[in-house]
Amino acid sequence: MTTQAAYIQKAEARLNQWDAQILSAAAKLQELKADEKIAQKERLDAMRAKRDEAQQKLVEAQVLSEEAWSELAISATEAWENLEEGFKNAARKIH
């Protein structure tokens, strides 16, 4: 089982990576033609939504007591994995 501190540290690192990917995708979006921008913006918005959802999960994990964390660790890890997969799917669709 992952400790709460390790979970938080890993989550913060993921969010930093995602922020960098979002910035890169946003820069690429500016180079596209108007009709391509619409579809790509939707994908970028999906990436941002997953990132925001992950940020909320991090905040929730930070305020849990150690006892509450031990009860929720497995489901929290699974939730992050699902969010990461959704983020990666959205990111893959960006040109």
Cβ–Cβ < 8 Å for 50, 87: yes
For 28-43, write each residue's pLDDT tens digit: 888 888 878 888 888 8
Q: What is the DSSP letter of 65?
A: -
**Residue 93 pLDDT > 80:** no
The model's pTM is 0.75
Residues whose CB is less than 8 angstroms from the CB of residue 19 and which lie 6 or more positions away in sequence, other chains included = 51
Question: Tokens 């930070």 correspond to what residue?
Answer: 62
Q: Binning pLDDT at 50, 70 and 90, where does residue 95 land?
A: low
Residue 21 has pLDDT above 70, yes or no: yes
* DSSP letters spanning 73-92: HHHHHHHHHHHHHHHHHHHH
Higher pLDDT, residue 34 or 53: 53
Q: Are 14 and 60 in contact (CB under 8 A)?
A: no
